[in-house]
Amino acid sequence: MSIEHRDDTGARFGMWIFLYTEVILFGGLFILYAVALAKFPQQFAEASHKLNIYFGAANTLVLLASSLTIAMAITAVQRNKPKQAMVLCISTIVLAIIFLINKYFEWSAEIGHGIYPGSEHLAEMGPGITAFFNLYYFTAGLHGLHILIGGTLIGVVTVFIAKGKVNSERYTLLENSALYWHLVDLVWVFLFPLYYLIL
């Protein structure tokens, strides 16, 4: 076994360990959500209806598209098509930016209506709705931070592709970046129905 192969194997293993810790982090938040939902089922449904489902659905489509573009970037690198891979990576970054812009406008509207943690208006709605929005802002905010980190990482990989450091023979960094991105997308696939689609 070559040193390079061992390095790649170690890098992949390290990424899976890191992703496992991320699953534990968000898993804990989902458990907290489940406990609060069991305690305040009606209030959670009422709070959910205050969210803009169109923003949530649009961002879901955006992230699904971004998972496709980053997966296609790996295929392009494997086929020794660096320019195509760079375009696909940049497309993923653009989709990430669109997600964050959508989230900015969505949160701006909610905050404009006095719905944000610590506001008097939110407190007046009762403990159930307050619990819902506290969890929503924290979990969605944490997810947004992961989007920012993932987009930055893919940006670095794009530079490495341009410099030939990531190529058809060495593309583990791109694979690991894609794994991270897929996890971020998967988390949102859970967040969307949990917060926006409560009946």
What domains can you pick out in the chain, each with its CATH number? 3-196 (1.20.120.80)
In angstroms, the CA 59 to CA 79 distance is 30
In angstroms, the CA 78 to CA 137 distance is 39
83-96 pLDDT tens trace: 999 999 999 999 99
The candidate with the shortest Cα–Cα distance to 102, out of 155, 57, 47, is 57
* Ranges in the chain, pLDDT < 70: 1-7
User: pLDDT at position 5, please?
Assistant: 47
157-178 pLDDT tens trace: 999 999 999 999 999 999 999 9
In angstroms, the CA 62 to CA 150 distance is 15
In angstroms, the CA 105 to CA 122 distance is 19
User: pLDDT at position 9, please?
Assistant: 81
Place of tokens 């534990």: 24
The sign of the dihedral angle between the CA atoms of 80, 81, 83, 87 is negative
In angstroms, the CA 195 to CA 45 distance is 9
